[in-house]
A = this chain, B = another copy of it.
Amino acid sequence: MEQKIENWKVLSSEYIAHEPWFTVRKDRVQLPNGNMIPSYYVMEYPAWICVIALTKDGRMVMERQYRHGVGRVNYELCAGVVDHTDATPEEAAKRELLEETGYGNGYWTFFLKASANPGTHNNYTYCFLATEVEKVGESHLEPTEDTAVELLKPEVVKSLLEEGKIIQGMHVASLWKYFALNHK
């Protein structure tokens, strides 16, 4: 018989921070076995998106970007946040690709949903696959963005993955799924 795993019970809850990029909830929880955790912290975020974008000539639209958590520059997919003004995660992904890289149009499909950390984050990342995208404008970075766009052949991206030069977990997940489905 399948062992039943039950949800935890929240006994009380309070916000200890409520800033745009740092909203933290502290829950007092009771586990099904009766044990209590007096302070369990959950980071609340809007949904996030990322995009595997392939140009008409089959290049992947990648970005090099500094990330302050790990203190390093790495290759990433185009990624961002679903804003209140975005009707859907797909719309957010199209907006972010255009803003960050200047690429648009093409054919879009939902590709993967994952959580950066289902224990501590309340949100999901939605990844989209966009094929036959084309340059339709210039990139318009926000004042806090500092990103270099590079068009790489899929086999080069696969090598970067294998060499550990792409480390953002959601992007690693999306790209390995892509290479699992497209054996190059």
Contact = CB atoms under 8 A, between A and B. Distances in A.
A68 B119 contact: yes
Interface in A149-184: 164, 167-170, 172-173, 176-177, 179-180, 183
A71 B7 CA distance: 7
A85 interface: no
Contacts of A172: 112, 114, 173, 177
A39 interface: yes
Interface string A67-87: 111111110000000000000
A70 to B, nearest CB: 4
Interface stretch (A25-33, A51-59, A96-104, A130-138): A25-33
Q: Which of A7, A69, A179 has the most CB of B within 10 A?
A: A69
B167 A114 contact: yes
A37 B68 CA distance: 11
A130 to B, nearest CB: 19
A148 interface: yes
Interface in A118-140: 118-122, 124-125
B37 A168 contact: no
B114 A27 contact: no
Contacts of A146: 5-6, 31-33
